[in-house]
Amino acid sequence: MSKTYLNPPDLFPSQQYGFSQGVATLGKTTVYVSGQVGWNAIQQITNPADLGIQARQALENIEVAVAAAGGSRTDIVSLRLYIVGDHIHNALSVREALRGFFPAENLPTSTWIGVSALASKDFLIEIEAVAVLE
């Protein structure tokens, strides 16, 4: 296996929040995915008022991009989430989206960043990803 998920006992148990503390990789191809939002392929926002639905759409968009390189969601090793305004403090739906999207044994690392705005007023979240294909 080219990925080792690192969750040392000296750090808090992050898996309950949908991410690992670290991932060590050894792979053939690294894929960097631009920030994905709650748009579908025809640039329609999935739901302008629902952070969880937008998070799920962004994750599905990431999966499409990784698949274009020959990978899958289990190849995603790192995420950077940009969450608008006060939504950063009420992001249980994002945690649920992450936990529902990734298998429990393949949780990527993640960093959540609160921002004042994204490219459209309808975007509540944008997610960047890094995947390592075996």
Q: What kind and span of H or E run contains 96? A: helix 92-101
Supply the CATH number for residue 116's domain: 3.30.1330.40
Q: How many domains does the chain have?
A: 1
Tokens of 57: 């759409």
Whether pTM > 0.85 for this model: the answer is yes
Distance CA 129, CA 63 (A): 10
- Each residue's pLDDT, cut to its tens digit, for the chain (134 residues) gives 589 999 999 999 999 989 999 999 987 899 999 999 999 999 999 899 999 999 999 999 999 999 999 999 999 999 999 999 999 998 899 999 999 999 999 999 999 999 999 999 999 999 999 999 98
Range of the domain at 65: 3-133
Tokens of 130: 């890094």
Distance CA 87, CA 72 (A): 28
52, 69 Cβ separation under 8 angstroms: no
Q: Report the DSSP beta bridge partners of residue 109.
A: 78
Distance CA 52, CA 36 (A): 14
